[in-house]
Amino acid sequence: MGNTTNELNWAARERLRSVEVRLWWRGFVGRKELMEGFGISAAQATSDLQKYFELNEGASFYSTKRKRYEATQGMMCVLHRPILEEGLTLAFGEMVGERWQRERVWTGRKPGLLGAVNLPPRDGKPWVERVMVLAAQGLRRVRVKYVSVKSGKSRWREMVPRTFGWDGRRWHARAFCLESEEWRDFVLGRVAEAEWPGSAEEVPADEAWDRWVVVKLKVNPELDAVRRRALRMDYELESDSLEIRVREAMRPYLLAEMFLEGESGVEAPRHFTLDE
């Protein structure tokens, strides 16, 4: 009786939610990890799993080969709204946190006094995000319908996702394109459809992603002394030089965010120039 899972109890609901998160983003869940993660008995873990399957019938099946519960393609979430950052943290073991756009500004005395520029969301579809995360964990082939702004075309492409990158505004899937036979970035928000991941694939090393470079910048020498001092204060610099370590594949995004490449959308003089 003591091992009965009451879904209305906060602690029990957190355990049930963890079952759902693992099934959605990682594709499987086992009794042992619930025991270790929450410090509960085997009987309690079994009860939790049974309760979740009652709450979300058809979400998973038991694999006798792998001895674990695995998610079905048609699984729907009933206890939480999937958040990509949470899935990436679980899948890759790296804390990525939530985007600041999802945070709310609040003051106890005067609500609404502070302001923020709330950029339009550039999220991918939950199903697409899930498929891409599942595929990346096993380097599995996935077929997606991608809408390209550059080419102006919408078509099906086959790729092997490996990881994900945040460029300051949106998430990209870093994937080996099987058509062009090269590593490319695919904006998750531009994937219209995605099929269930297929078999694991052998892909070449992604050297541009694995290699780190140091981007050397300097405060724009064309600015007058007062403006240069203001930028040193703003970026907490002791001199006019700034060095930023970044993956080589993400260097263009860094330069774009620093208004060194691409259109800045503002007429103000550039704050920095490349010091290379």
Domain ranges of the chain: 10-71, 126-204, 211-274
Confidence band of 176 (pLDDT split at 50, 70, 90): very high
Homologous superfamily assigned to 126-204? Calcium binding protein CcbP, beta-barrel domain (2.30.30.530)
Say what the pLDDT of residue 113 is.
62
- In this structure, which amino acid lies at residue 268? A
Of the ranges 89-103, 118-132, 145-159, which one carries the lowest mean pLDDT score?
Answer: 89-103
Query: What pLDDT, in 10s, does the model give residues 104-123?
Result: 444 455 555 667 777 788 88
Range 187-207 average pLDDT: 97
pLDDT higher than threshold 70 for residue 160: yes
Q: Which of 33, 40, 44 is nearest to 67 (CA)?
A: 33
Q: Are 172 and 164 in contact, with CB atoms under 8 Å apart?
A: yes
Confidence band of 220 (pLDDT split at 50, 70, 90): very high
10-71 CATH choice from 1.25.40, 1.10.10, 2.40.128, 1.10.150: 1.10.10
pTM of the model: 0.83
Say what the pLDDT of residue 104 is.
45
Torsion, Cα 64 65 70 73, to 10 degrees, reads -110
Torsion, Cα 95 98 104 107, to 10 degrees, reads 10
Backbone angles phi, psi at 190, to 5 degrees: -100, 5
Say what the pLDDT of residue 101 is.
43
First to last CA, the chain: 69
Range 36-59 average pLDDT: 95
